Structure 1
Amino acid sequence: MIYSSNICDRLSQEEIIELACQGEYEAQYILGIYYNNDCVRNSDDDKQAFYWLHQAAEQGHCEAQYFLGLKYNNDESASKDNEKALTWFKKAALQGHKLAPNMVGWILAEEIKLHYEDAVAWYRMGAERGHYNAQNNLARMYQAGKGIEQDYQQAIYWHKQAAMQGYDYAQENLADMYNDGIGVPQSKALAAYWYMKCALQGRVRAQFSLGYQYNEGEGVEQDYQQSMYWYLKAADQGSVGACVNIGYMYRNARGVEQNYPLALEWFNKAAEQGNPIAWYNIALMYHYGEGMPADLHKALDLYKKVQLSNELDVREKIQEVEALLAG
Structure 2
Amino acid sequence: MSTPQPPGPSPSAPLPMTPDLNRILPNADRSSLDQLFSLGEYYLKNKQYSDATKVLTLAAKNNHLPAQMALARIYSKGLGTAQSYSNALEWYKRAAESDDPVAEFNVGYFYANGYGIEKDMAKAILWYRLSIRHGFANAQFHLAMALQIDTSDSKALEESFSLMAQAAAAGFPDAQYQLARMYAKGMGCARSSTKALAILKRLPESSKILFLTGYIYFTTPALKKQTEALKLWSRAAAEGDGMSAHNVGHCYQWGLAGLELDYNEAMYWYTRAENMGFKESQIGIYECWYWLEEYDKVYEKLEQALKDGFTSAHAYLGHCFFFGHGVKQDYDQAVLHYVQVPEEYRDVSIHLQLGRCYLEGLGGIERNLDAAYILIQMGTLETYPTSLYYRGYCLENGFGCTKNLEEAIEWYIKGFKAKDKDSQEALLRLGRLHDPTTYVAYHMSIDPGLINDELCFDD
TM-score normalised by the shorter chain: which range applies?
Answer: 0.5 to 0.7
Alignment of 1:255-266 (within 5 A): 257-260=223-226, 262-266=228-232
Match of 1:70 in 2: 41
Match of 1:302 among 252, 257, 269: 269
Structure 1 residue 102 corresponds to structure 2 residue 74: no
Contact 2:108 2:123 in 1 (8 A): yes
Distance 2:129 2:223 in 1: 40
**1:298 to partner: Cα distance:** 5.6
Give the distance between the partners of 2:290 and 2:144, measured in 1 at CA.
42
Q: Which moved more, 1:273-282 or 1:310-319?
A: 310-319
1:212 equivalent to 2:212? Answer no
Q: After superposition, where does 1:265-280 map in structure 2 within 5 Å?
A: 265-280=231-246
* Separation in structure 2 between the aligned mates of residue 204 and residue 322 of structure 1, nearest angstrom: 46
Give the Cα–Cα distance (whole angstroms) in 2 for the partners of residues 156 and 72 of structure 1: 35
Alignment equivalent of 1:162, drawn from 119, 131, 146: 131
Q: 2:50 aligns with which of 83, 95, 108?
A: 83
Partner of 2:172: 203
Residues 217 and 226 in structure 2, CA contact (< 8 A), matched pair in contact too: yes
Equivalent AA in structure 1 for residue 243 of structure 2 = I
Residue in 2 that maps onto 1:244:
211
Taking the aligned partners of 1:90 and 1:150, their CA distance within structure 2 comes to 27
Structure 1 equivalent of residue 247 of structure 2: 281
Contact 1:231 1:242 in 2 (8 A): yes
Q: Are 1:173 and 2:137 an aligned pair?
A: no
- Kindly report which structure 2 residues correspond to 1:20-169, keeping only aligned pairs within 5 A, or say none: 33=9, 36=10, 46-48=11-13, 51-52=15-16, 54-55=17-18, 61-74=32-45, 79-111=46-78, 112-113=81-82, 115-144=84-113, 146-147=115-116, 152-169=121-138
Which one-letter code corresponds to 2:70 in the other structure?
M
Over residues 33-71 of structure 1, what are the superposed CA-to-partner deviations in whole Å (9 max), with x where a residue is unaligned?
A: 4xx2xxxxxxxxx241x523x456868543332233234
CA distance in 1, matches of 2:249, 2:112: 41
CA contact (8 A) 1:243 1:270 kept: yes
Return the offset for 1:283. 4.4
Partner of 2:65: helix, strand, or coil?
A: coil
Aligned residue for 1:129, secondary structure, equals coil
CA distance in 2, matches of 1:129, 1:237: 40
> Which residue of the partner structure matches residue 197 of structure 2?
228
Q: Give CA deviations for 1:234-265 in whole Å, capped at 9, x if unaligned.
A: 5x263x333212112223436x6223564244
| Separation in structure 2 between the aligned mates of residue 224 and residue 231 of structure 1, nearest angstrom | 10
Structure 1 pair 275–318 and aligned structure 2 pair: CA distance change class (3 A): farther
**Normalising by the residue count of structure 2, what TM-score does the alignment of the two structures yield?**
0.50
Q: Computing the radius of gyration over CA atoms, which structure comes out larger, 1 or 2?
A: 2
Equivalent position of 2:284 in the other structure = 314
1:218 deviation in Å?
1.9
TM superposition shift of 1:178: 1.9
Structure ranking higher in helix proportion: 1
Aligned partners of 1:314 and 1:141: how far apart in 2? 36
Change (3 A) 1:126 1:247: same
- CA gap of 1:232–1:311, structure 2 versus 1, over 3 A, is farther
- 1:191 maps to which residue? 160
- What secondary structure sits across from 2:198 in the alignment? helix
* Cα distance in 1 for residues equivalent to 2:112 and 2:216: 35
Q: CA RMSD in A?
A: 3.9
Using the size of structure 1 for normalisation, the TM-score is 0.67
Distance in structure 1 (CA, Å) of the matches to 2:107 and 2:227: 48
Contact kept? 1:232, 1:246, Cα under 8 Å:
no
Deviation at 1:128, TM superposition (A): 1.3
Aligned length: 273
Letter of the structure 2 residue corresponding to residue 275 of structure 1: D
Q: Distance in 1 between matches of 2:114 and 2:260?
A: 55
Identity %: 21
* Counterpart AA for 1:172: F
Unaligned stretches of 5+ residues in structure 1:
1-28, 37-45
Deviation at 1:290, TM superposition (A): 4.5
Give the CA deviation at 1:271: 0.7
How far is 1:83 from its partner? 2.1
Q: State the AA in 1 paired with 2:107.
A: L
Q: Is the 8 A contact 1:247 1:263 kept in 2?
A: yes
1:67 maps to amino acid: S
1:143 and 1:291, CA in 2 relative to 1: closer, same or farther beyond 3 A? closer
